[in-house]
Homo-oligomer: A and B are copies of this chain.
C-alpha cells in the first residue's frame, strides 16, 4: 500500500503544501518520522519535531502557521487528529481487505461459509462448522468440527479451535490462541491417573479480543464462557469451566484455574494466579503477580500471594523491607528488658 500526498489530501479533503507526488507506505510518530512515512501534528507540544522530522508527509491543521521551512510535504486539514484517526481506520481496513477462499485450503463440504469471508492458505475448516459473513481466517489456522464463528470475526494465523466451540461476532483471536483444548482433569487411580473426559466446549461472546498464545480449555461438561467485551492479553491460561464476566480485562501471563467465576468490569494485572472454584466479584482489581486463594467481593482491590487489601499489602511490604532492622531492635530490646542494667 503506497499513497501519494495528493491521494491522501483528496481522501481527507485537505490541501497539499509541497510536493504532491511524494509517496508514503507507513505511519510514524512525528518524532520518529522516516522517509516514506506519514505523520501528523495535533498537539502543539510536538511542534518543534515538525522542523526536524524526516516523515515525507505530515498532516497539520489548516490554521497552523509555519515558523520556518520544513522538508516534509504538508497536508492541511480541518482537524489533524481526526484526520489521522480516519486514516488509521482506513489503513486497518486495507490491511484486512483479503477475501475469498484460497485454493490450498481444506474446507469440509458440510461447512457453511458466509459472504465476503476470507480463508487463507493451509487453513482447515471441519465438518458442520459455520463461518459467518466478513470473517477473516488467516493462513495456517485450524477450525475443528461443529464450530461456529460469528460475523466480522478476525482469526489470525495459527489459531486452533477444537470441535464444538462457539465464537461470537466481531471477536479477534490472535496467532497461537488455542480454544477448546481438554481441561486438566485426571482422577487418581492407585498411583497413576485416569483421564476424565472433557466433553464440554468453549463459548466466546461478541467483541472479545484474545492475545497471542493464550489458551482457553473446554469445559468438562457444559461450557467455559468468555463474556461479551472481555479483553485477554497474551499467554493467559483459562482452565475448564471458568467464566469471565463482561468487559473484564486481564493482562498477560495470568492464569485462572478450573470452575472459577470472575465478575464484570474487573481489571486483573499480569502474572496473576487464581485458584479453582472461586467467585470473584464485579469491578475487582487485582495487582500484578498476586495469587488469589479466596473469594473476593465486589469492588475490592487486592495484592499479594495470597492476596489481601492492596493498602494493607503495601503497608506490610514497607515493613518487610525493614524486617532485619526490626528483628535487631527486638533483640536489643529483649536484652534491655531482661538485663536492664546493661542497656
Residues of A within 8 A of B (CB): 25-29, 32, 88-89, 91-92, 95, 102, 104, 106, 120-122, 124, 138-142, 144, 146, 156-158, 160, 162-164, 172, 174-176, 178, 181-182, 184, 186, 191-193, 195, 197, 199, 201, 207, 209, 211-213, 215, 217, 221-222, 229, 231, 233-235, 237, 239, 246-247, 249, 251-253, 255, 257, 265, 270-271, 273, 275, 288-289, 291, 305-306, 308, 312, 315-324, 326-327, 329-330, 333-334, 336-338, 343
Q: Are A106 and B121 in contact, CB atoms less than 8 angstroms apart?
A: yes
Q: Which 9 A-B pairs have the closest CB atoms?
A: A142-B157, A106-B121, A160-B175, A178-B212, A181-B212, A319-B323, A212-B215, A237-B252, A124-B139
Determine whether the beta carbon of B178 is less than 8 Å from that of A27: no
- Contact: B271 with A271, CB < 8 Å? yes
Sample of 10 further A-B pairs with CB below 8 A, known A26-B199, A213-B215 = A26-B201, A102-B106, A122-B124, A139-B142, A144-B157, A319-B326, A322-B327, A326-B326, A326-B330, A336-B338
Let me know if A122 and B95 touch, CB within 8 A. no
User: How close is A99's CB to chain B, nearest CB, in angstroms?
Assistant: 14
- CB pairs A–B below 8 angstroms (22 shown): A95-B163, A106-B139, A124-B157, A140-B142, A156-B181, A176-B178, A178-B212, A181-B211, A184-B211, A186-B209, A192-B229, A211-B217, A233-B237, A233-B239, A237-B270, A257-B270, A273-B289, A289-B289, A312-B321, A319-B324, A320-B323, A330-B330
B322→A320 contact, CB < 8 A: no
Q: Is the CB of B164 within 8 A of A26?
A: yes
Query: Quick one: copies of this chain in the complex?
Result: 3
Instruction: Among A32, A89, A95, A212, find the residue whose CB has the most chain B CB atoms closer than 10 A.
Output: A212
Q: Is the CB of A235 within 8 A of B235?
A: yes
Q: Given the complex of chains A and B, what is the CA–CA distance between A178 and B234 in angstroms? A: 10
A158 and B174 contacting across the interface, CB-CB below 8 Å: no
Question: Is the beta-carbon distance between B273 and A270 smaller than 8 angstroms?
Answer: yes
A104 & B102 in contact (Cβ 8 Å cutoff): no
Looking at A120, A308, A315, A320, which has the most chain B CB atoms within 10 Å of its CB? A320
In contact, B288 and A288 (Cβ under 8 angstroms): no
Contact, CB under 8 Å: A88 / B199:
yes
For residue A315, which residues in chain B have a CB less than 8 angstroms away from its CB?
A: 323-324
Which residue in chain B gives the minimum CB-CB distance to A89? B197
B323/A316 in contact, CB under 8 A: yes
Given A239-B252, A315-B324, A176-B215 contact (CB < 8 Å): yes
- Contact at A215–B231, with CB atoms within 8 Å? no
Q: Whole-angstrom distance between the alpha carbons of A85 and B26 in the complex? A: 46
Contact check, B271 vs A273: say whether CB atoms are below 8 A apart.
Answer: yes
Output the least CB separation between A248 and chain B (Å).
10
A104 to B139, alpha carbons, bound, how many Å?
A: 13
Question: Max chain B CB contacts within 10 Å: which of A138, A231, A273, A322?
Answer: A273
Q: A142-B138, A176-B160, A333-B337 are in contact. Are A184 and B318 (CB under 8 A)?
A: no
Q: Contacts A192-B229, A319-B327, A324-B316 known; A92 to B213 CB distance under 8 Å?
A: no
